[in-house]
Structure 1
């Protein structure tokens, strides 16, 4: 896991906020330095360039998940309870890091700039392996069906949540989720429960 000192963390969090508000192209190193209360030279020293700063930000927000996944895997829980914990973990991380996922989605989908994503991809691969082991444990016990695409389960979890958040205006109007509190409460309760039911239906044997 990549370790960052307090000053680097301040810079990363400031960059995240500005990238989400102004976009990557609309944010300058100068504005990040001013907002973070540091000089430009310090950002250059720690990160090199704005692209490298973005790469570091992605690592900062994603590298901590491996430890949490391993904890779930080792816990004395049933396979289904572990899967529910997995859903909670994925949703809580997206809710906590909304800005980061917004930036990542845009940058990785547009491919406007060449970024070195090897470290990120390696972390993602390691996380996927632990996720896979949790599902395979349930398959070996005969609880989960083997006829399921494990690689697409995180996609189903994240895709549902990201779609709901990116279409917030529509759901606010059609479901009367017109305050921050009611919207977030719906995500935490009803939407999370819907995702758990969906994943459960994918994993359990058909009657």
Structure 2
């Protein structure tokens, strides 16, 4: 029974994520989402309470899933600090390219939303995984493998900002790269590995003390 309940909630969240991504918060409605999910309004309201509750639940699910993945990497004692950051960066980009619609939704609602209370909640949710990246970078500083004066905040902005440019400014990015960044084959086969290589080289050259470097 509990699994059935979880499956039903996940199904509603899957549909809600797609509808919110397509229409934005203001353009979507719980009635439309319940219809698309083939559930009645009473069930949707029982699980999530309101459109805002459903919207926040979409973000919390994504964030919690990724937080668990990052924490598994951080707790792996067989990895050094650089290897942990390398894996976190790889996993982050994998997630981005698997679900670009969600990341467009994030950008739209955080930067353009007319709902400051919802915006604040989303920002708090997104900070959960930013803090996980901070932990692994701080670990590298504390164990002496990263430079003591490394700017952790700007290092994280480099990761997220590069992603934002490619995903949220596709026309400009496509002109720069002379390829359509909205074309799935190009994104998966070319852009994702290119971004992984670029970001890891940038981070490694900036963070890792020379004598601690090893080929990845």
TM-score range normalised by the length of the shorter chain: 0.7 to 0.9
- State how far apart, in whole Å, the 1-side matches of 2:161 and 2:72 are: 24
Q: Report the Cα offset of residue 28 of structure 1.
A: 1.8
Equivalent residue, structure 1, for 2:214: none
Q: Report the Cα offset of residue 33 of structure 1.
A: 1.2
Equivalent residue, structure 1, for 2:106: 104
Equivalent residue, structure 2, for 1:200: 204
TM-score after normalising by structure 1 = 0.85
Equivalent residue, structure 1, for 2:135: 133
Equivalent residue, structure 2, for 1:45: 46
> What RMSD, in angstroms, separates the aligned Cα atoms of the two structures?
2.6
- State how far apart, in whole Å, the 1-side matches of 2:126 and 2:162 are: 22
Equivalent residue, structure 2, for 1:121: 124
Q: Report the Cα offset of residue 116 of structure 1.
A: 8.0
TM-score after normalising by structure 2 = 0.82
- State how far apart, in whole Å, the 1-side matches of 2:11 and 2:120 are: 22
Structure 2 vs 1, CA of residues 26 and 82 (structure 1 numbering), >3 Å: closer, same or farther?
Answer: same
Contact kept, 8 Å, 1:91 with 1:192, in 2: the verdict is: yes
Which ranges in structure 2 are unaligned for 5 or more consecutive residues?
Answer: 212-216
More helix by percentage: 2
Equivalent residue, structure 2, for 1:65: 66
- State how far apart, in whole Å, the 2-side matches of 1:119 and 1:107 are: 8
Equivalent residue, structure 1, for 2:157: 155
Equivalent residue, structure 2, for 1:32: 33
Q: Report the Cα offset of residue 123 of structure 1.
A: 7.3
Contact kept, 8 Å, 2:110 with 2:123, in 1: the verdict is: no
- State how far apart, in whole Å, the 1-side matches of 2:120 and 2:47 are: 18
Contact kept, 8 Å, 1:20 with 1:100, in 2: the verdict is: yes
Equivalent residue, structure 2, for 1:184: 188
